[in-house]
Each structure stands twice: as structure tokens, then as C-alpha cells.
Amino acid sequence: MNASTVIFWIIAVLAVGSAIVATYAKNIVNAAFGLFFTLLAIAGVYVFLDADFLAITQVVVYVGGILVLLLFGILLTNKNIDFVTVDGSRSYLVGTLLGAALLVMVLSILQLATWNNVPTAPPPGGTTAPIGYMLLKNYLLAFEFSSVTLLAALIGAAYLVRGRDKD
């Protein structure tokens, strides 16, 4: 077993273990930190797939943006978060049974699938330049439309949460 295989399995165990912590944590802060390590491990899997753009996007957008915003929202709120706990074993039982059924379904699909084992050459020079070229050449209209839509959503959200002047 070579070093890259060992590192991959460490990342895989970290991803699955932290996902279990995020799922079954009784404290919302522990669940958020479990989600943090899960998203970081998924970025590590993207590195092993030679998808450098997806790995960087995963870290910047999800770990650096959304999850930090979630943690700030949890930690800086002035409400008591002691009541945010999950009680009852019924929800855990239903979730575990549904997860096991999904695992059996995915494993059976993987076993029945026919795989094309023809080796392909890795893309030269990474994946960032071809993705950027396609975004700004072939998909420019969709790219600009999504950016204008996100800008409109941001302006609308700022308008909705702005403070009302009391006269």
C-alpha cells in the first residue's frame, strides 16, 4: 500500500466519521464543527481526483463562506441554544434505517454497473483554465444571468432585513 492510498483512506475515514458526528451530535455547535471537517475532507477527495478548481471552490465557498457564516450565526446569537437538542430514539432509528436502505441501493447499483476500465490521460495543466474558458466563451450568458440574479437576491435580502425608521 503506497502513501497516497493511506492518505486517501485517512481522508475518507475523516469524512465519514465527521459526517456521523454532524448527524448524531446533540449540540448544534458540535454538529457544525462535524460539518466543517466533513466539507474539508470532501475538498481533500477532490484533490485526489485532480479537480483542483473544485477543491479550492469547496474550501472557499463552503468551508470559508457558508460554514463560517453558520458558525457566527450560532455563536453570536443572543438566544439560549440549550433547548436545541434532539431527543428521542425514533428519529435516529428512522434515519439509520433510511441511510442503510440508501447504502444497499447504491452498493447494488455499483455492483450491477458495467465499468469502462480504459485509462485516460489526466488533463494537462489542471482544470481551472478549461473551466474558465468555457464559462467566458460557451456559457457567458448563463454565467452573467446567474451573477445578476444573485445580485438581485442580495439587494432584496438587504432591503428586507434593513432597520425600519421609527417616526
Q: What are the tens digits of pLDDT across the range 93-135?
A: 888 899 899 999 999 998 888 877 767 766 566 677 888 888 8
Domain ranges of the chain: 1-79+91-109, 125-167
- pLDDT of 17 reads 94
- pLDDT of 131 reads 81
- pLDDT of 165 reads 58
Would you state the cell numbers that stand for residue 2, as one nine-digit string?
Answer: 503506497
Which CATH architecture fits 1-79+91-109? Answer: Up-down Bundle (1.20)
The whole model's pTM is what? 0.62
The C-alpha cell 433510511 sits at: 98
CA 47 to chain centre: 14
**CA–CA dist 127, 139 (Å, integer):** 16
The kind and range of the H/E element at 102 are: helix 89-112
